[in-house]
Structure 1
Amino acid sequence: MTEVRIVTDCAASAESAFRYVNDYRNLSRFLYGIQSFTPVGAQTEGVGATFDGHMKLGPASLRSRVEVNRWEPDAAIGITSIKGFDVASTFLFHPKGAERCTIDAIVDYRVPGGLAGRALGKTIEPFVKIAVKHTTDNLITQITEFHAGSAPDAREA
C-alpha cells in the first residue's frame, strides 16, 4: 500500500472539524478529483454507513464502494473499500483548545499487481501529490469557514 498523510493545524474546534468532514455532502467540496460520493442505503454516518465513490486522478477513473469502519464522535472517522479501487482512509481530530485542532488524515491505497497495476500506479502518482496539496488547502479553508459560521457568536448575530 502507498500511504499519503496530511497533518495540519486548523482554526476550528475538533468538534467543528469532525462535523464538517462527517457530512458526506461536503466531501465533493474539499476532496480533489472526486466526481461523486453517494450513500448506499439510508445510513449516512457511523460504523456501517456505505458509499459509492468515483474519483478522477489525471487520466485514471477510479471507483470504490467504501464502508465506515471507525466512527468516534469529534475524534475519528475511518473508511475502507469493500469493492473496487483498494483504499482506506482515516481522519483524526485532535483538540488544541476551543478554537484550534490538528487534523491528521491518512490515506492508504493499493494498485492491482502486474503490468496494469504498475502502469496505473505510475499514472496516478503525480496526481496524488497534487490532490493531497489541493485537498489540504480546501479542507482547512472550508472547516475554518464552517466553524466561523457555526460559532455561537455567529449564530447570535
Structure 2
Amino acid sequence: MTEVKIVADCAASAESAFAYVDDYQHLPKFINEISAFTPLTEQVEGVGATFDGTIQLGPITLHSTIEIVRHEPGYAIGVKSIKGFEIESTFLFHDRGEEACTIDAIVDYRVPGGLAGKLLGKTIEPFVKLAVKSSTHHLVTQVAEFHATRANA
C-alpha cells in the first residue's frame, strides 16, 4: 500500500472537527475530487455505515464501496473499501484545547498488480498527494468556520 499523510493545525476543538467530518454530507465539500458519495445503508455514521463513492484523480475515475471501520467520537474516523478501488482512510483529531486541534489525514491505497497496476499507480500518485493536501486545507478552513458557528449558536 502507498501511504499519504498530511498533518494540519486547525482553529477548532477536536470535538467540532470530528462532528464536521462525521457528517458524510460534508465529505464532497472538502474533498473536491469526489464526484459522488451515497449512503448504501440507513446508518450513516458509526462502524458499519457503508457508502458508494466515485473520485476523479487526474485522468482516472475510481469507484469504491467503503465502510466505516473505526469511529471514536472526538478522536478518530476510519474507512476501508470493501469493493472496488482499495483504499483506507483515517482522520485523527488531536485535542489542543477549546479552540485548537491537530488533524491527521492518512490515506493508504493499493493498486492492482502487474503492468496495468504499476501504470495506474504512477498515474494517480501525484494526484492523490495533491488531493490529500488540498482536502486537508479545505477541511481545516471549513472546520474552523463550522466551529465558529457552533460556538456562536
**Considering the TM-score relative to the shorter chain, is it more than 0.5?**
yes
Kindly indicate whether residue 9 of structure 2 is the aligned counterpart of residue 15 of structure 1: no
1:130 Cα deviation (Å)?
A: 1.8
Q: Which runs of 4+ in 1 moved over 3 A?
A: none
Distance 1:33 1:57 in 2: 7
| Contact map agreement 2:52 2:63 (CA 8 A) in 1 | yes
* Map of 1:99 onto structure 2: 99
Q: How many residues align?
A: 153
Q: What stretches of structure 1 of length at least 5 have no aligned partner?
A: none
* Map of 2:31 onto structure 1: 31
Kindly indicate whether residue 50 of structure 2 is the aligned counterpart of residue 50 of structure 1: yes
1:134 Cα deviation (Å)?
A: 1.2
The residue correspondences of 1:1-157 to structure 2 (distance < 5 A) are: 1-151=1-151, 154-155=152-153
1:32 Cα deviation (Å)?
A: 3.0
Distance 2:32 2:134 in 1: 6
1:94 Cα deviation (Å)?
A: 0.8
**TM-score, structure 2 as length reference:** 0.98
Distance 1:41 1:17 in 2: 24
User: Identity, % of aligned pairs?
Assistant: 65
Distance 2:32 2:2 in 1: 18
Q: What stretches of structure 2 of length at least 5 have no aligned partner?
A: none
